[in-house]
């Protein structure tokens, strides 16, 4: 049960805000003791999620490890028509010191 709660609290949903907002959210999680974070993005925000991970690795958390990358497609219904939207989930982990 505690693992399920932790899994939900370490998710960063990447959307329309600037990249640094998501980087700061990830750094805050790591400073709180969270060792693994999942970044989720859809559509045009996918490239922003990748930018967040790269910025974290290069500037903030030098020993960051990309554990898993999952891609997929969601069917979204807008104004009575269906369209496919690409999704990505990037799991990053900070090794324990």
**Residue-by-residue DSSP string for 11-40:** EEEE-SS-HHHHHHHHHHHHHTT--EEEEE
The CATH number of the domain covering residues in 2-93: 3.30.110.20
First-to-final CA distance of the chain? 26
pLDDT at residue 62, as a whole number? 87
pLDDT at residue 85, as a whole number? 94
Distance, CA of 31 to CA of 44 (rounded, Å):
29
pLDDT at residue 3, as a whole number? 41
pTM to 2 decimal places: 0.84
Please state, as a whole number, how many other Cβ atoms lie within 10 Å of the Cβ of residue 81: 7
- Residue-by-residue pLDDT tens, the chain, 97 positions: 344 344 457 999 999 999 999 999 999 999 998 999 999 999 999 999 999 999 999 999 889 999 999 999 999 898 889 999 999 999 999 887 6
Please state, as a whole number, how many other Cβ atoms lie within 10 Å of the Cβ of residue 76: 12
pLDDT at residue 4, as a whole number? 39
Q: Report the residue count for the chain.
A: 97
pLDDT at residue 22, as a whole number? 95
Distance, CA of 29 to CA of 21 (rounded, Å):
13
Give the DSSP letter of residue 43.
Answer: G
């Amino acid at each position: 049960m505690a693992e399920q709660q932790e899994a939900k609290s370490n998710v960063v949903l990447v959307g329309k805000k600037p990249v640094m907002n998501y980087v700061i959210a990830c750094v805050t999680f790591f400073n709180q003791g969270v060792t693994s974070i999942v970044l989720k993005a859809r559509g045009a925000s996918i490239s922003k999620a990748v930018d967040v991970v790269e910025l974290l690795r290069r500037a903030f958390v030098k020993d960051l490890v990309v554990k898993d990358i999952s891609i997929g497609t969601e069917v979204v219904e807008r104004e009575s028509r269906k369209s496919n939207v690409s999704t990505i989930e990037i799991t990053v982990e900070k090794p324990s010191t």
